Structure 1
Amino acid sequence: MRTHAPIILFCYNRPGHLRQTVESLRMNTLAAESELFVYSDGPKNTADRQRVDEVRTYLAGVTGFRSVHVREAETNKGLANSVIEGVSFVLSQFPKVIVLEDDMLSTKDFLSFMNQALDTYASRDDIFSVTGYTPPIAVPGHYPHDVYLAPRASSWGWGTWADKWAEADWQVSDFVALKTDAAQRDAFNKGGNDLWPMLAKQQQGVIDSWAIRWTYSQFRTGAYGLYPVHSKIKNIGTDGTGTNFTFKSGEYGDELSEGAVTMPPDLRPDDGMIHAFGRYYRLPLLLKLKNKVKYGI
């Protein structure tokens, strides 16, 4: 009998968003059979303490899962450190995980989809991660499957396996070589031409992102992320309240789709899907110019 992947949920100081996320997750058909690990980050300052306390008061009463484990940080670790440490710890105990942040609404079959994907593609060396989210790309009319592969990892309602996570190079040890190799940078940017600028900013200390380093680790091994054609995750943190989302957008996850999904074990990358995916993440010209002038990217 296969066991369900444990769920890891990262939260900080948004009790309202967290409540919606947990309530949505609790309605999943596999929630009662799944263990939930919650990582509550500590306050950055005195002003944050009240909302962090509200989060923890709410978490103390969460039920509806096989078990609930809450980890409360005394000081603020930041999202990147929290994710790397938390996912690494849980994956030292389990072979696979499902990961969310505190601003994700899910369909009732999200956990079923994720567990199905984690089971189906566990042995595929060229698939490093799976996700229940898909951006609103223009799916080519010829594409026949319910899932697709893209050269990018998603940070919105995602999952991975212990052996794949162990391949991550959080220091990006070959960054200098990448910086001088235009062909490799172009190849990395197939998942969106925002990837190289994000990685460069990460290495310059401008941003602190686990996700761009995880995507780069995936790229270095020639691996892909698995996405559904129709999203099972909606982000509600694009209202400007999130740590890493500083703009509002009505574009993210408008479509949520329940229903059975067929997952071919021998699924292969599709050039049309990858092209459509990359186009969605194409940087606006003004931002490209800003990156060049301000950061030398």
Structure 2
Amino acid sequence: MNAPIILFAYKRPVELKATIQALQANHLASTSDLYIFVDAPKRPEDAAKVDQVHKLLDTVSGFRTIHRDYAKTNIGCADSIIRGISQVLTKYPSAIVVEDDIVTAPNFLDFMNQCLNQYADNQRVYSISGYTLPFQRPADYTSDAYCIPRHSPWGWATWADRWQSVDWDMTDYPDFEKDKWQQKEFMRGGSDLFKMLRDQMEGRADAWDIRFCYNRFKVDGVTVYPTISKVENIGFGKEATHTDIYNRYKTKLDDGSQRVFDLPSFTGPTPYYHRQTLERYSVPTRIYNRLKTLAGMR
């Protein structure tokens, strides 16, 4: 049985339409259950676009079953996602999560379901990503996936037991904040991770994914990524919640023709891809990208 798909939306009907059309074009769409969650307007001026989103989602078809949950009052970005995933994962052992700015390749669901089956019993594999940066694949690398100590929230999947183990209140953060060695270990997934976590804990961000990534770190977990991206993020721009910046995440989307994947046996982070990831999230690279944002590039 395929894992259910959880779709989160808010006030972006144009991007959402592209997201839905891409999901409908997936090979496994018609045999997958779809759970839709839409948050209520945060401000009166958001109401019209949220209503457009409702009307669009009311007509969705092409999946085995469709379940809709439209919030009556605003929950907030992070809490809405935590609530929706928690609700679905009380019924299923795993789930695939997509937000309203994600375009998926036709084989996205194939890849996610095969990875969920392959790594279900390996507790160190904390999540599956559908996205990857456009890294050059080494000629001698034969697998269709790799592992790194960093979570990606753009078209991803996890299991109920991993999700239910997360401490969303971050009760041990005060100790972590004082421990330089732990902070250094956390940033084995990228030099930006500790700042994102601190912004969340000090109220400058409303994010669930950095807390999920921190809980992954606590169990020395990894995320499995495809060598060719099954996801493209189209959410960069003024309507985006967190991505009104230079798009340093442009990637090449899989053509979707491959249906069966060669998945690696777990041996920890994949050295080549780990090094490439650290380079992309290094301080000099992030400063360079910030300058591009200030120059108005997208």
TM-score computed with the length of structure 1 as normaliser: 0.91
Partner of 2:187: 189
Partner of 1:279: 279
Query: Please, which of 115, 122, 125 is the counterpart of residue 124 of structure 1?
Result: 122
Partner of 1:294: none
Q: Distance in 2 between matches of 1:45 and 1:116?
A: 41
Q: State the Cα deviation string for residues 218-267 of structure 1 (Å, max 9, x = none).
A: 00001100000110100100133211212242642334343242113445
Mark the CA change 1:254 to 1:60 in structure 2 (over 3 Å): closer, same or farther.
Answer: same
Mark the CA change 1:57 to 1:113 in structure 2 (over 3 Å): closer, same or farther.
Answer: same
Q: State the Cα deviation string for residues 25-83 of structure 1 (Å, max 9, x = none).
A: 00111100111001011101111101000000111110000111110011221211011
Once the two structures are superposed, the pairs formed by residues 19-30 of structure 1 within 5 Å of their partners are: 19-30=17-28
Matched, 1:59 2:54: no
TM-score computed with the length of structure 2 as normaliser: 0.91
| 1:275 to partner: Cα distance | 1.6
Q: Distance in 2 between matches of 1:257 and 1:219?
A: 33
* Secondary structure, counterpart of 1:209 in structure 2: coil
CA contact (8 A) 1:131 1:158 kept: yes
Q: Which amino acid aligns with 2:271?
A: D
Q: Distance in 2 between matches of 1:207 and 1:101?
A: 18
Query: Please, which of 231, 237, 259 is the counterpart of residue 233 of structure 1?
Result: 231
* Secondary structure, counterpart of 1:128 in structure 2: strand
Query: Identity, % of aligned pairs?
Result: 38
CA contact (8 A) 2:148 2:268 kept: no
CA contact (8 A) 1:14 1:55 kept: yes
* Secondary structure, counterpart of 1:197 in structure 2: helix
Q: Which amino acid aligns with 1:218?
A: R
Q: State the Cα deviation string for residues 189-241 of structure 1 (Å, max 9, x = none).
A: 01111000000111100101100000000000011000001101001001332
Query: Please, which of 103, 122, 126 is the counterpart of residue 101 of structure 2?
Result: 103
Q: Distance in 2 between matches of 1:64 and 1:182?
A: 50
Single out whichever of 261-270 and 157-166 deviates more from structure 2: 261-270
Q: Distance in 2 between matches of 1:267 and 1:24?
A: 33
CA contact (8 A) 1:138 1:276 kept: no
Q: Distance in 1 between matches of 2:280 and 2:44?
A: 40
Once the two structures are superposed, the pairs formed by residues 1-297 of structure 1 within 5 Å of their partners are: 3-140=1-138, 142-249=140-247, 251-258=249-256, 259=258, 260-284=260-284
Please report the RMSD computed on the Cα atoms of aligned residues, expressed in angstroms: 1.9
Q: Distance in 1 between matches of 2:161 and 2:133?
A: 27
Give the count of matched residue pairs: 287
Structure 1 moving runs of 4+ over 4 Å: 138-142, 284-288
Partner of 1:293: none
Q: State the Cα deviation string for residues 81-104 of structure 1 (Å, max 9, x = none).
A: 011110001000111000000011
* Secondary structure, counterpart of 2:283 in structure 1: coil
Q: Which amino acid aligns with 2:216?
A: Q
Q: Distance in 1 between matches of 2:119 and 2:285?
A: 37
- Could you tell me which runs of 5 or more consecutive residues in structure 1 were left unpaired when the two chains were aligned: 291-297
CA contact (8 A) 1:129 1:158 kept: yes
| 1:272 to partner: Cα distance | 2.5
